[in-house]
Amino acid sequence: MDKDEYGHYVNDEGVEIRTSTDKYGRDHIDIYDSCPAENPDHGSIHINYDSDTGKGTIVDTTSGEKETTDTSCYLTTACMKNLKNNFDDQCYQLDILRWFRDKFVSQEDKERYYEIAPIIVDAIEKSDNKDNVYKYIYNNVVLYCVRKIEEDNFDEAYSRYKNSVLALENQFVKPVKQQPHVKKLILS
């Protein structure tokens, strides 16, 4: 990958990549489909991520509209951690789960997830085995639910999704409130 006249990395298709770290230690990766200085109608993806806390956002403008994903979502974070260099906020797994959420998950369950997921992510990030927890979530919730959705077994996917929220809440949220020293993972 070569650098352009502005000092930014550009590939053969004209995709420009900029990386930086701000004064708070947050990493930023900005990806442009063309040089913003030369094309005001460029599309872009901005990844803002604090690797210490796991918090951040992914802002995607490539579709013409601004879409923001909060990495405080434990399903997204699990995908990020497991797909690493191949992670894309529009990856197959997250697209399938979002479609399923929009078509089958009750409003009440969605609201509960959005309320509790950031708390679960915070608790996981403080645990000694956070990488194993995210791997478990990816393999036993994300991939399991995707497989069941592909099989049109929506009831089983919904059940696993809902039970995982409850299990993670019981494992990470309630013990933190009751006993802050609890740092183990017992999910089955």
Q: Tell me: the pLDDT tens digits for 142-187?
A: 999 999 999 999 999 999 989 988 898 888 877 544 444 444 444 4
**pLDDT above 80 for 56:** no
pLDDT, tens digit, 9 for 90 and up, residues 100-158: 988 998 989 888 887 888 788 878 878 888 888 888 888 999 999 999 999 999 999 99
Is 39 a residue whose pLDDT tops 70?
yes
Mean pLDDT of the chain: 78
Task: Identify which of 120, 187, 171 has the alpha carbon closest to the alpha carbon of residue 179.
Answer: 171
Average pLDDT over residues 60-82: 71
pLDDT classification of 34: cutoffs 50, 70, 90: confident
Q: Model confidence at 55, in pLDDT bands (50, 70, 90)?
A: low
CA distances from 151 to 137, 155, 156 (A): 20, 11, 10
Give the count of beta carbons closer than 10 Å to the beta carbon of residue 150.
10
Residue 169 to residue 126: CA distance in whole angstroms: 14
Predicted local confidence at residue 24, as pLDDT: 73
Contact 56, 64 (CB under 8 A): no
pLDDT at 145: 94
What is the C-alpha separation between 91 and 77, in angstroms, rounded?
12
